[in-house]
Amino acid sequence: MDRIRVLVVEDSLSVRKRLVEVLTSDATFEVIGEAENGQQAIEMCRALRPNVVTLDMHLPVMDGVSATEHIMGHFPTPILIVSSSTNRGDLFKTYDALAAGAVDVLEKPTGEEPDGSWEKKFLSAVRLVSKIRVITHVRARLGGAVRAESVPAMPVAQSELGRSVIAVGASTGGPGALVEVLRRIPRGLPATILIVLHIDEPFSSAFAEWLGSQTAHAVHYATGGEAVAPSGKGRVFMAPPGSHLIARGGRLVLSSEAERHSCRPSVDVLFESLALECARQTVACLLTGMGRDGASGLLALRRAGAFTIAQDEASSVIYGMPREAALLGAAESILSLAEIGPAVTRATAKLGSSA
């Protein structure tokens, strides 16, 4: 069986050698190159065509975000971010790289992990990311990220709008997908938008703020007690790291109950609560992601009268969660990523006019 060809990009010599040592300890992998800055990463990726790149964010000459944009814009390659940066500014850069096409992020070892645990997690992550089918991202060719204000929102007459709930679940590939969906939903739509995203701590702490900075919407982590369907202008709430988000008695509730599908927050938990609470006023979307979290919840919502959408295979980074939903018959519509925001807006307007 062919070995997985890995390019390691890390400016710290000691960290780079450690990553190479871990990779070469497993016969599955072949380290075909080592780069110490972003420009070298681009040149070596172009010349060597690895199966996967491990990439630090803090790099000299060209940083990890710029390197990701160029690689994904010109010779798409699965990228695993390996970073120890968890302050607000560094987290924003990590989210930028994920939105530009990097597949996943893993924290560098802290030295406090049990023997062999981080190494096992690292090898598993590299193996998994190497198998992802990645697509071309045009950000580098357009000269950087497209800002939210440059993406026109679909006009909707205020008389057509009404109160409702929009629920969105995503996992791997989710940061970029969520940006795309929210940019195509008009600001001020009088609907509460609820989001569950699988992203490991400590990288999740500033994601809501970053998502708001990329779109026209103010995004906040739910704290519990917020009204599920407030009147007036809508709001966007995310499940906070480590807590399930639940709709109960007209309010949002946070729960530390057991993980579902090894996830907390879980998309299924939110979707199932909405199926019991307000299904006929809900539009639910299941986006790109690995596994099956959200599929059975989407089915429960559809059976209870919600309008349900699953992302299609062609536009998904990983066609896992939406595929499971499609197989269950949980999705009333299967749409490309670019179509989901406008479809949600139209469905919300329809619900409002019939309320």
**213 has pLDDT over 60:** yes
CA distances, 340 to each of 168, 180, 181, 189, 196 (Å) = 11, 9, 6, 15, 16
Give me the pLDDT at residue 231, please.
60
Q: How confident is the model at residue 350 (pLDDT cuts 50, 70, 90)?
A: low
**pLDDT, average across residues 181-202:** 90
Choose the catalytic residue: 171, 243, 315, 316.
Answer: 171
Give me the pLDDT at residue 138, please.
53
pLDDT > 70 in the chain, percent: 88
Tell me whether residue 137 is one of the annotated catalytic residues: no
Tell me whether residue 198 is one of the annotated catalytic residues: yes
pLDDT digits (tens, 9 = 90+) for 298-323: 999 999 999 999 999 999 989 999 99
Better pLDDT: 38 or 116? 38
**pLDDT, average across residues 194-198:** 97
**pLDDT, average across residues 266-281:** 96
Q: How confident is the model at residue 142 (pLDDT cuts 50, 70, 90)?
A: very low
**pLDDT, average across residues 22-42:** 97
**pLDDT, average across residues 40-61:** 96
**286 has pLDDT over 80:** yes
pLDDT digits (tens, 9 = 90+) for 92-141: 999 999 999 999 999 998 777 788 899 999 999 999 999 988 876 654 44
Torsion sign over Cα 167, 169, 173, 174: positive
- Biggest CA pair distance of the chain: 64
- Strands (E) in 222-340, as ranges, are 236-238, 244-248, 251-255, 282-286, 307-311, 333-335
Q: Comparing C-alpha atoms, which of 135, 141, 155, 148 is closest to residue 311?
A: 135
Burial label for 355, CB within 10 Å (0-12, 13-18, 19+), is exposed
Burial label for 337, CB within 10 Å (0-12, 13-18, 19+), is buried
Backbone angles phi, psi at 13, to 5 degrees: -60, -45
Tell me whether residue 96 is one of the annotated catalytic residues: no
Choose the catalytic residue: 204, 293, 296, 315.
Answer: 293
Q: Are strands 104-107 and 219-221 parallel, antiparallel or unpaired?
A: unpaired
Give me the pLDDT at residue 143, please.
43
Q: Are strands 333-335 and 307-311 parallel, antiparallel or unpaired?
A: parallel
